[in-house]
Structure 1
């Protein structure tokens, strides 16, 4: 199979050619060059059920540089610093891809994210690298490499120098007290749209880790938060408890593709659908391989969630963190044709119109705004 390699982000030739139907070669190159870097703003969402944005801004400003967003009232952001040169040492700890991307931004590495740590002893100077060997950070091992892999818990490497640096917000008292949730800027659009609809009930079909669920709950919307595994549901519960929003969130461990079959009386005014996708909009991205078969398989999977959502709610807010047409606009066009839904006009801040036959859909494009790639559409049952 032939692949086009954008410095570690690999697309098979069919997908590359398909994206060229909507973007020029120069735009595509620029898009995946930006994917290697984080946005210059690291966003958090103020938990307005506990504290005002002004009060949290004042509290955080005593320790870090933080600013209010110009468009979203509950959004604060911290400047991301870098890139920095990372010292190279002899010992290496190989981190799982998502963990490596977090460490790349200055986070510490915890044992569940470790893949290999040969000959590493507690106290060693180490480099953290991605699975394909990209250098992401320098730090100090807090436990032996064998213990990292055996215990699968605890701090594995304390990061001292990373390629980029954002504050370790989860070490702050304000985080422990549930005053904020770290959430990307475009992901907050979902909550804004839900609030604008004036709904009092919602079902989140793909809730974990709970960012969108807790955003709606802090507005006073009662949410049924669904995900298919116990660890995912436990993660939602953990965030809901920290934010003090458990009274407005009902947890359900279930495959939400079968909600209407297994819980026929389950209804809400809004359904959130943020299904698994190819993740091509996530930043920073150290390495990724996507084929056209991946895209087509996931698009069919995503339509199952849309089908169920159309039977349990009048409004559907559909979102993904990817860039492909099939997983986004094509799915929405399919929903209007096969499910009898209509697309409503929305205008979230710093967004562009959707591609092709869905101009009422909205996108966050890193080449237009310094943000992750994201897709959003609002649908209504006729």
Structure 2
């Protein structure tokens, strides 16, 4: 099997895992799904899987007219992958032959290679013209319905357009480092946005630790918390460490906590590359003690704000875990408040589009703790629109914001100050 076809076969395996087993792509990568591929093959397999998941609705609509009944999942995923490649400019002969070869070597479904050949040949003839007429893919109903209730149908259409477009590369530079050599466009919030970046580790300044990858929305919580030199700062649920590095670069003495040993190892690698220092703790956020000037809690959440970079999420999940996450967030927020010194501050944030994981959590916390107040003025940083600031005093970011700049992750954050 050629390197290109090996990458395609791996992409099909990734689709099988997401759509059949409910696994996220990150879990598949961590378990070694890409280990046997060269770096170029890994990048290709990831790109093919992500593009197919992003275009799943379109691929299924085109295939529906050519299938009398749905074939086994693995074969369906081969057809989906082939359809996305063919409708995105892939050479018909090479794509069709590759997909037929993948199915023909499968021990259970090899007899369906004729079906794959016939269907994809029809798709090669008719698919590209049909593709251009199809609507932007919609979110699954389990997620789309609550988002429409929260933000309205027009806003959700804008989010779906942002999801389908994907995400450019945003970076945060160390203070005093000129990252303009990378090209890209400076964003008003301070991040640098790069389109078509290619291999991240090959970009100027990466090995020197001059910057790190961090979506513009994800960079705002630490920016707003504004940890100062000499302050004791705590980053709960810290890995992979973008916010830890921001606070360390600002001169604060940072303790970073995460429950996952492997994720803390990744955080340590990022600190070493950037030459920044923080105390690292593998542990449960709910078991931490001490008193800090500044606490940042990026609570575990549905991650629904990151779909433009992770189109596997709405396909692998069904929302059944939301209740447990919301309860955990409330517990973590309450415990984090006990770690804030009098006169100190807590940044609560989630990369979620659901108000239950953001606005509602802070509203309830403000009712619960008489010594807690939301600092609206701190949210007024360059690039933040006034109508993004919410009724209870938080900041709501959505993928449909900044459409002319390429969007941003969905995020919620609130800076909460403790009475002195």
Matches within 5 A, 1:112-123: none
Question: Aligned-pair distance for 1:8?
Answer: 6.6
Residue 311 (structure 2) aligned to one of 253, 276, 286: 286
1:365 aligned onto 2:380: no
| Residue number in structure 1 paired with 2:323 | 296
1:19 aligned onto 2:19: no
1:257 aligned onto 2:286: yes
User: What's the TM-score once normalised by structure 1's chain length?
Assistant: 0.65
Question: Aligned-pair distance for 1:211?
Answer: 0.4
| Residue number in structure 1 paired with 2:180 | 57
Q: What whole-Å deviation, never above 9, does each CA across 1:240-281 have from its counterpart, x for those lacking one?
A: 1111112xx111111011113xxxxx2111110101211111
Secondary structure (helix, strand or coil) at the match of 1:348 reads coil
For the 8 Å contact 1:176–1:242, the answer to whether it is kept is yes
User: What's the TM-score once normalised by structure 2's chain length?
Assistant: 0.59
Q: Which runs of 5+ in 1 are unaligned?
A: 81-164, 261-265
Structure 1 pair 198/337, CA: closer, same or farther in 2 (3 Å)?
Answer: farther
Secondary structure (helix, strand or coil) at the match of 2:205 reads helix
Question: Aligned-pair distance for 1:196?
Answer: 7.0
| Residue number in structure 2 paired with 1:245 | 276
Higher-Rg structure is 2
Secondary structure (helix, strand or coil) at the match of 1:176 reads coil
Question: Aligned-pair distance for 1:232?
Answer: 1.5
Secondary structure (helix, strand or coil) at the match of 1:22 reads helix
Structure 1 pair 363/168, CA: closer, same or farther in 2 (3 Å)?
Answer: same
Secondary structure (helix, strand or coil) at the match of 2:321 reads helix
Question: Aligned-pair distance for 1:169?
Answer: 2.3
Question: Aligned-pair distance for 1:206?
Answer: 0.8
For the 8 Å contact 2:237–2:297, the answer to whether it is kept is yes
| Residue number in structure 2 paired with 1:77 | 193
Q: What whole-Å deviation, never above 9, does each CA across 1:137-176 have from its counterpart, x for those lacking one?
A: xxxxxxxxxxxxxxxxxxxxxxxxxxxx333221235111
| Residue number in structure 2 paired with 1:273 | 297
1:29 aligned onto 2:157: yes
Secondary structure (helix, strand or coil) at the match of 1:187 reads helix
Q: Give RMSD over aligned pairs.
A: 2.4
CA distance in 2, matches of 1:199, 1:18: 43
For the 8 Å contact 2:228–2:252, the answer to whether it is kept is no
For the 8 Å contact 1:205–1:256, the answer to whether it is kept is yes
| Residue number in structure 2 paired with 1:9 | 139
Q: What whole-Å deviation, never above 9, does each CA across 1:19-76 have from its counterpart, x for those lacking one?
A: 333322232232123212224x42111112xx522xx323x3xxxx33333342xx32
| Residue number in structure 2 paired with 1:347 | 380
Which segment is superposed worse, 280-289 or 327-336?
Answer: 280-289
1:44 aligned onto 2:69: no
CA distance in 2, matches of 1:286, 1:19: 16
CA distance in 1, matches of 2:227, 2:234: 16
1:326 aligned onto 2:360: no
Question: Aligned-pair distance for 1:198?
Answer: 7.3
Q: Comparing both structures, which one devotes a greater share of its residues to strand?
A: 1
Question: Aligned-pair distance for 1:296?
Answer: 2.4
CA distance in 1, matches of 2:188, 2:413: 20
Q: Comparing both structures, which one devotes a greater share of its residues to helix?
A: 2
CA distance in 2, matches of 1:339, 1:291: 33
Secondary structure (helix, strand or coil) at the match of 1:36 reads helix
Residue 184 (structure 2) aligned to one of 35, 57, 66: 66
For the 8 Å contact 2:326–2:357, the answer to whether it is kept is yes
| Residue number in structure 2 paired with 1:209 | 240
